[in-house]
Amino acid sequence: MWIYEKKLQYPVRVGKCDPRLARLLIEQYGGADGELSAALRYLNQRYSIPDRVIGLLTDIGTEEFAHLEMIATMVYKLTKDASPEQMKAAGLADHYVNHDRALYYHDAAGVPWTSAYIQAKGDPIADLYEDIAAEEKARATYQWIIDNTDDPDIMDALKFLREREIVHALRFREAVELLKEHREQKKVF
């Protein structure tokens, strides 16, 4: 079970009315390498992974939901007061006709989220390598979004999120090292 704290993991401030940026940020909401994919991937892999790394997947998977909330907050702030004309000017007319200003799990190009983005192979090395790759791809995505904004407040939150991807990637690589070790093996004759 989870305990919910009604606050964001890191404060999200949006300093500039730029609905166009919402369209780019949504990549990290419902995109292949976004926070929803990350959270669901890690929490699902926990069941069949060796017990030594279950806790890590729980912790990181949970944190990804906290990141998802931060992205949602940014998107919401950028679109909640936008007029249909502003939505259209931001390239969000297609979104508007389908969802109004509601958030939806799709990527920056409007492709809806699919579980085909995530894998659970049952092989711990294959699963952890997917996780490492996902973190590096999410880090890169944050970089390209940062390149597309001049709002220092948004940049601040995105830089925090980008740094978390770096830390997560290292934790997953440490998990690989743990699994390489031989534990005293039970010998049954």
List residues near Fe ion by CB under 5 A: 165, 168
- Please enumerate in sequence order all residues whose Cβ is within 8 A of that of 138, keeping only pairs 6 or more positions apart, or say none: 28, 33, 34, 35, 38, 165
Q: How far apart are CA 158 and CA 143, in angstroms?
A: 8
Residue 52, binding choice from another protein, Fe ion, none, Cβ under 5 to 8 Å by partner class: another protein
Q: C-beta of 133: minimal distance to another protein in Å?
A: 15
The DSSP output letter for 31 is S
Return the number of the residue (42 or 96) whose C-beta is nearest another protein.
Answer: 42
Q: Which partner in another protein, Fe ion, none is near 185 (CB below 5 to 8 A by kind)?
A: another protein
In the complex, minimum distance from the CB of residue 166 to Fe ion, in angstroms, rounded to a whole number: 9
Q: Output DSSP code: residue 92.
A: -
Comparing CB distances to another protein, the nearer of 13 and 52 is: 52
Which residues would be at the binding site for another protein (CB under 8 A)? 50-52, 123-125, 176, 179-180, 182-183, 185-186, 188
* Closest separation in Å from C-beta 60 to another protein: 20
List 106's β-bridge partners, or say none.
Answer: 112
* In the complex, minimum distance from the CB of residue 131 to Fe ion, in angstroms, rounded to a whole number: 9
Radius of gyration (Cα) for the chain, nearest Å? 19
Residue 8, φ and ψ in degrees, nearest 5: -80, 155
